[in-house]
Structure 1
Amino acid sequence: MTYNLLVVDDEFYAVQGVTQGIDWKELGIGHVYEAFDSEEAVERLLQSPIDVMICDIEMPNRNGLELIKWVKVNSPSTETIFLTGHADFSYTRTALQAGSFDYMLKPFDYDELKTVVKRAIEKITEKREAQSFNEVQQRYYSLFQTHKPLLEEKFWQDLLSRRVVPSRSSLSSLIASYELSFSPDSYVLPVLISVELWKKELSARDEDIMEYALRNAAGEIILASHAGVVLQDRGGNNLVLFYLPQDHAQALNAKELIDRCKHYIRSCNHYFYCNLSCYLGEEIEFNGLLEMYVELLETERSNITQANSVISFGERRGPAGQTFSIPWVSGISVLFDLGSKEDVRHKLDEIFSMLEAEPSLTIETLESSFHALVHMIFQVFHKRGFTIQEVLAPRDLSDSASVTRSFLQFKAWCYRVILNSMDYIITHEKGEASVIQKISSYIDDHLREDITREQIAEYVHFNPAYLSRLFKKETGSSLTDYMLARRIDKSKELLTTSQLKIGDIAEIVGYENVPYFTKMFKKSTGRTPREYRKEQQH
């Protein structure tokens, strides 16, 4: 990216000194123009886009202050740096009030002038990047506002949230009434899209808009021309569903799908300022989709270390030291977090119907399941700030020999322990609330630091993407918005109750740059920190 510079002065040698005395190419300036009065400067500004104008104040006819008024109206993106031989402060004040970027006294040091121009270019670059981002965001916001929910998307949302009974008769009826392009005999292949990190600070509204953009991109790149749908379920999960006929005549090529997902991840990294991963399911009949959906969610939640990855079904990345890998235990863990006691009971019914018909069931299998379930319940309680001893007797936790003596005893123990644990959580506190309290306390204790979502996720032992959805669901606010609000609240408190300098307060709440702190404070309160303190003292 190159920039254009215009030097305006009625003294020939003054103009030559600025244009010839500095290597402007080092700052990325491709064209340097000269003008010897305001009229000539206006002519140049009309002919060429000028990024930075270095201008003398005292000139015959129209002076520099009159020129900048014209520039502000006709070339508002131009940053002006004034030069003058007057040290009178009234000149400085007038120049700054007119909207100049900076003000320098003659004679000036070339290195100092170069530094000021460099800062002006940095400001211009930031404005251009912000404008580019806002244009992308506005384009998708317009689509987001005008887009109406599709019946097809509603069908899947209802099915995945268990508002639809997944029986063949009910599915056939809904598919017919919605006139959808598949049948209960079709196969489905799900791909879960998990946003791991937004590289720009986004409000909750902006995050919704950008996720809408991600789903549009997934339709173009991952789904492409294949039959299927891209949707967001009622839990905030983004999902691509491929439709496959019963005879698999249009079966997907696994390598091609992985390549599409990798291309999608790279595109999102570049255009949408985010890191994300894709979790690939397998081709499955309708009646098996819900179970696979829960498995994909569990795989995402347990994935802490891998980012910008394509993870195929079964590539579980559990925590270090995990001894057992029992898929049905993981499924119950996810249903715990989803907070549905009826879903947990239904899952247990499925599990024990399957185990009861298993001829090779052994005591060793029951013992491994016992320890895995205790470990799972311990983790669920720990994340919510409870201790497992508050609800379960010591015998329930340690007497594996008695519990696994027979299949019926093990079944009775599982129902009692799991359902009692859920009753305790539901009665005493929603599980997620204690996690939110931990997050709030962590943010308050680390306001001085540059806190990241990944640090908070590691603290509460959650996957970052899962944590963001949970926090937004419980508070109605994104983590970024919440951290900003806590910093502003702490700043208000310190401005009101202490005599600390504004720079010290900025550092305490995590801002090393005082102008940026002032900008964020004013954006939130409508006043600068100094104005706010003055109001509170009167």
Structure 2
Amino acid sequence: MNTPLSVDTWVLPIQISVRRWNIPLTDRERNLLEYALCNVSDEMIRHPLSGVTMRIRHGTAVLLFDLPTQTQLLSGIEQRCRELRKFAKTFLYADVDIGIGNTVPMRELPQEKPQEVSTIPPAIESQSTDFDLFLRMRQANPSEDSVLHQILNYIEDHLLEDLTREDIAQFVHFHPAYLSRFFRKKTGWSLSEYIVQKRIESAKEMLSQSELKIGYIMNHLGYYNLSHFTRTFKKKTGYTPQQYRKKTSHHKLAIVRGK
């Protein structure tokens, strides 16, 4: 039996959209995989929370209901989104973008289509819909800090991919030039500087915590020229990758001997 939603209920919208299919697909195969993405999204993000999952054009929308406060983002929801992204890439042959919107009070939702939100629909809505209600919710003037949080999460989640300014701008619905100005204003970094810094931090961790070959680490982080990677790494750390690995290994050995 469907449970009526109170006007005091807060709703958290989450949009899962397919950015790219990684294998050739027929229309029928694409439709089946989109249906599978909807089911998986319901299981990995919505379940067991109160809400609804439905197909939209080129993806899926999840609405989480009965949030007790406007600012609560439900513990672990971002981690669930990361796990879904990895699952989709591995098993559904899709690179997906996931956007977590702002919580919206039920009483502020537009009333043109009350049947879409007045009660909790079935867990999976099989037919495709443009879901313009969801789009209006996404346009509810998110705070600058909220947008910055989305950008930083997107960079973190796509750090090992060919990450471009245009990809990030499309994700947060900004013009690329405005995105650059916005990011520098909020962080003091340019986008490219920040991405390089995050990749070098990952390289430092891999060099100090593993015995992976430097060539593998370099390629894993999107660098394909050893000289360029070495220059960039030394500029950021003061050491070449080889020197940094040697330095950290000696430090760990000294700690062990000290014990």
Whether these two folds match at TM > 0.5 is no
Q: TM tier, shorter chain?
A: 0.3 to 0.5
Give the helix-richer structure, 1 or 2: 1
Give 1 or 2 for the bigger CA radius of gyration. Answer: 1
TM-score, length-scaled by structure 1:
0.22
Give the strand-richer structure, 1 or 2: 2
TM-score, length-scaled by structure 2:
0.45
Determine which structure has greater relative contact order: mean sequence separation of CA pairs < 8 Å that are 6+ residues apart, divided by chain length.
Answer: 2
